[in-house]
Amino acid sequence: MHDFKYKNNELYCESVAVKQLAEKYGTPLYVYSHKTLVDHYRKIREAFRAIKPLICFSMKANSNIALCGILVKEGAGLDIVSGGELYIALKTGVAAKRIVYASVGKTEKEIEIAIKHHIFLFNVESLPELKMIDKVAARLGRRQTVAIRINPDVRLKTHKYITTGHKENKFGVDMETARGIFMNCSRFPHLNICGVHIHIGSQIVDSGPFVKAIEKIAGFIKELEQNGVNIRWFNIGGGLGIIYSNERPQTAAEYAKAIVPILKKIKAGVILEPGRFIAGNSGILLTRVVYVKETAAKNFAIMDAGMNDLARPSLYGAYHNVLPVESASYRPSSKLRSYDIVGPICESGDFLAKGRKFIDLKQGELLAVMSAGAYGFSMSSNYNARPRPAEVMVDGKHHRLIRRRETYNDLIRNELR
């Protein structure tokens, strides 16, 4: 699952003591395991080897240029959702023909830049967007490949904020609208409309919803082909869940076993967009206790990291396991006490975890917020004028800084008096 393990009652990332990283780089600190990151990518690649898909890492999960670059060297393409992610993607050295571009709100300028760089594919979310891409492609004298994102209206068990395949969600078009687009491709002479895209949500732990959505769209693709429409690409998106607490998510092999037989029945090449599955358990957020505050109602461990560093608990009520860097304060004991693990931000909703049990947490103690490699730093902010954390990559016994800690000067760098 990951390479954060205890050795002699002390938490390690691969062969490096996490405490050593805190001493060298300070806290809060994002720490990533190179081995875990690469292993998870390879598991996806191996599971789908029979159909040789294009695997595009979803940069919205983690857009660090060094982290993405590691995956690009492994053979991954990149899934982007903004002009900024396109800029970072190109800096990793990825071939533009291995970049796919999603997002409901691509601007004309973003579209123009992407076409000029010869990206492979746009996942188109609406008819107005389709018209805009055709307009820009015409101006540039190009013919751009696109896929139509279809909203299959599949229900699933996950947080409502990370469902994307319900009919009331803002993403994609309904089946009837998609049918009209494909049957009238000649209206868009500067587009090669030859792909179908779905992405039904995130942190999905069983294959049922995927199977339902893919079967539905596979049937639609066959219908289109019977009507003379050639579908060359089926982008099945991402969404595979990971272990945050006691989940039993499907493995990559189980996921592939459930859907590859369906995909083999259609002629289209397959694109995958995993993000959380690859990066989620590859990273932790390392944070230090600033104060322990005991009240009649509850005990608070006030940390130097908060919702500005890791927004998921405050935003979604998301669960992250929180472990002590030195495990003596975690072992079963009658002295266990319950703590809310909270941040320094001036919001009552600023917490990393609630009701977690430790043995007498002390000022200065280090805690590791687990499974923070996806949607951690990428969702961080400077709220309360707090500089964002540094990021470190560990590879065996070696470690290196892959993002320096922001300074106070960084906070005002773009401001004018």
- Annotated catalytic residues are 346
Spell 293-317 as b/e; 16+ CB within 10 A means b: eeeeeebbbbbbbbbbbbbbbbeee
Residue type, 263: L
Give the residues across from 358 on adjacent strands: 337
Which residues have a Cβ under 8 Å from the Cβ of 219 and sit 6 or more positions away?
none
DSSP category for residue 365 = -
Peptide linkage before 128 cis (omega within 30 of 0): no
Tokens of 369: 């917020």
The Cα–Cα gap between 45 and 39 comes to 10
Give the C-alpha separation, 50 to 47, whole Å.
8
3-state secondary structure 215-242: HHHHHHHHHHHHCCCCCCEEECCCCECC
Indicate the angle between helix axes 65-73 and 34-47, nearest 10 degrees.
Answer: 40
Q: Which of 54, 63, 209 is nearest to 145 (CA)?
A: 54
Round the CA-based radius of gyration of the chain to a whole number and report it. Answer: 23
Strand 398-403 to 390-395 pairing: antiparallel
For residue 177, the tally of other CB atoms under 10 A from its CB is: 15
Question: How far is Cα 275 from Cα 241, in angstroms, rounded to an integer?
Answer: 10
What is the bridge-based pairing of β-strands 336-342 and 351-359?
A: antiparallel
